[in-house]
């Protein structure tokens, strides 16, 4: 069973402190939601967990199963089981969804074993079909060019299929994109709920309370100005929906 532990994390960009002591522990089997107004550092936290090189960690640690991952590169973290769904996925013209996923899987197999020839195509096809069936997706989707002309909902579908195929132990979904329509929210939520199990921990990052109606997190955390100022259950998100961030801001202003 996996655990991701963020300990007193301080992060700066260009000497500007963005995260000011974040503490958060996610166990496999748990769904966490991170909420907060724009500009508070939610996306920064997801990038830092995934290993984006632009951010400087000035204090604290990130541990996966008790071991620090700070010295690991982004690809190594991905192999260790950390998955970050990109907020703004890029289009790759001429590369089908299936090809992209097979390349990603094979790269991982090769990183684990340099002798690996990757997954044989028939086996990959079976795997992909099984994952698409699990997610109730049309098999035709695998033949589309990745993100080319995709609707918001289709981009999310590709993202969830990638998550299903790579089988991470910790998934971080940054859903701040205000362009997310209800359809896309539903796809992400149903996908997460389908893939959820004892071996997956999820952190959903969102500005809006509405995705939480679908995902129903076990834990909700509120971030203000680079710190998690409140943690609770689903009722915390409902409280936010009703009263907004202002009350929490006032409470924590000092
Ligand atoms: P959120 O996701 O909560 O809206 P972000 O993590 O995107 O917040 O941003 C937090 C703060 O860090 C903002 O003030 C933003 O301007 C700043 N920031 C984020 N990324 C960068 C970057 N690459 N360079 C400079 N400033 C950044
Ligand atoms: Mg963001």
Q: Which residues surround ligand 2, an ion (CB under 5 A)?
A: 42-43, 176
* Domains parsed from the chain with CATH numbers: 3-90+168-253 (3.40.50.300), 92-146 (no CATH)
- The 10s digit of each residue's pLDDT in 28-82 is 999 999 999 889 999 999 999 999 989 999 999 999 999 999 999 988 998 899 9
Residue 229 or 148, more confident = 229
Residue 152: what pLDDT? 80
The Å distance, Cα 69 to ligand 1 centre, comes to 22
Pocket-testing residue among 43, 203, 225, ligand 1, by greatest number of atoms within 8 A of Cβ: 43
pTM for this model (two decimals): 0.91
Cα angle 138-144-145, degrees, rounded to a multiple of 5? 155
- Look at strands 3-13 and 170-174 and give their pairing: unpaired
Long-range pairs, 186-193, Cβ under 8 A, ≥24:
186/214, 187/153, 187/156, 187/157, 187/160, 188/156, 188/159, 188/160, 188/214, 188/215, 189/214, 189/215, 190/135, 190/214, 191/135, 191/156, 191/157, 191/160, 191/163, 191/164, 192/31, 192/160
Q: Judge if the beta carbon of residue 39 lies within 6 A of ligand 1.
A: yes
Q: Considering only 7-11, 150-154, 169-173, which range has the smallest mean pLDDT?
A: 150-154
- Mean residue pLDDT across the chain: 90
Q: CA-CA distance, 254 to 8, in Å (whole number)?
A: 20
Q: Judge if the beta carbon of residue 36 lies within 6 A of ligand 1.
A: yes
Atom of ligand 1 nearest to the CA of 176: 2
Q: Judge if the beta carbon of residue 226 lies within 6 A of ligand 1.
A: no
- The 10s digit of each residue's pLDDT in 88-137 is 556 777 889 999 899 889 988 888 888 999 999 999 999 999 999 999 99
Ligand with minimal distance to 173 CA:
2
Q: CA-CA distance, 242 to 155, in Å (whole number)?
A: 30
């Amino acid at each position: 069973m996996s655990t991701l532990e963020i300990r007193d994390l301080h992060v700066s960009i260009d000497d500007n402190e963005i995260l000011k002591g974040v503490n958060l522990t996610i166990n496999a089997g748990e769904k966490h939601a991170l909420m907060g107004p724009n500009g508070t550092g939610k996306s920064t936290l997801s990038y830092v967990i995934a290993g984006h090189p632009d951010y400087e960690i000035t204090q604290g640690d990130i541990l996966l199963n008790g071991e620090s991952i700070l010295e690991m590169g982004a690809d190594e973290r991905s192999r260790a089981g950390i998955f970050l769904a990109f907020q703004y996925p890029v289009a790759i013209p001429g590369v089908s969804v299936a090809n992209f996923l097979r390349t990603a899987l094979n790269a991982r197999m090769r990183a684990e074993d340099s002798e690996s020839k990757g997954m044989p195509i028939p086996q990959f096809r079976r795997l992909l079909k099984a994952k698409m069936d699990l997610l109730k997706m049309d098999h035709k989707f695998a033949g589309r060019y990745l993100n080319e002309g995709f609707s918001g909902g289709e981009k999310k579908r590709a993202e969830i299929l990638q998550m299903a195929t790579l089988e991470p132990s910790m998934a971080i979904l940054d859903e701040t994109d205000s362009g997310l329509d209800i359809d896309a929210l539903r796809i992400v939520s149903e996908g997460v709920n389908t893939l959820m199990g004892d071996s997956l921990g999820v952190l959903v990052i969102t500005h809006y309370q509405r995705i939480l109606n679908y995902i129903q997190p076990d834990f909700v955390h509120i971030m203000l100005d680079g710190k998690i100022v409140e943690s609770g259950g689903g009722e915390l998100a409902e409280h936010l929906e009703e009263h907004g961030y202002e009350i929490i801001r006032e409470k924590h202003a000092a």
